Amino acid sequence: MTATPDPSSFDAVLFDMDGTLVDTEGAWFDAERELAAAHGVTLPLEARDVLHGLDARGLITTLRDRYGLRADPVAFLHELQDTVIAHLAHAAARPGADALVRHVAQADLPRAIVSNSPHASIRATLTPHVWATQVPLRVSVDDVAHGKPHPDVYLAAAERLAVRPSRCLVIEDSVAGATAGVRAGATCVAVTFGDLPATAFRELTPHVVTSLSDLLPGP
């Protein structure tokens, strides 16, 4: 059994946001489903796992190629942003998010939230959560050429923190996000929350836990 990495043994901690620190996946999928229906496409419930963690380009490509969406991509993404923001302010923090973020902050480790979401969505998601002020650096898909599963957002975060990617710990909940972290050269912990089997991450990382609390020091 592979030991869970200790965040304090790294030079920086990079947190994914959607699904990892805040349970936003329901809000995003509800918005995607609602908007797709308005454009004549019915998304099955199984599409939630298919769309999970994709950046805007990957989302549009999948909706088009797999589900037959024919909407203008730019217009659809603008509509989606407006639709989802109202839901994000009500998204609950994942159990253990507060304690883990505060633990990393108290250790004075450089840290960032690294997200496939636009900055507007990041603000809407994090504003209700007091603990989020402990991570002032937010790196968005808006800041790079390619979102996850490309490594760009994690490489950008490491550069802004002046830390080598290989000395960063990435905490992720999606296969796309874990792929981005590994491609950036970081150590990645995948958190399943019981939503995905550990085998989903088998080819990416040996570090798989079921909750954020597993990353906290024991009593």
Catalytic residues: 16, 18
Q: Which amino acid is at 138?
A: R
Give phi and psi for 190, each to the nearest 5: -95, 130
Strand order in the sheet with 187-191: 138-139, 111-114, 12-15, 168-172, 187-191, 208-209
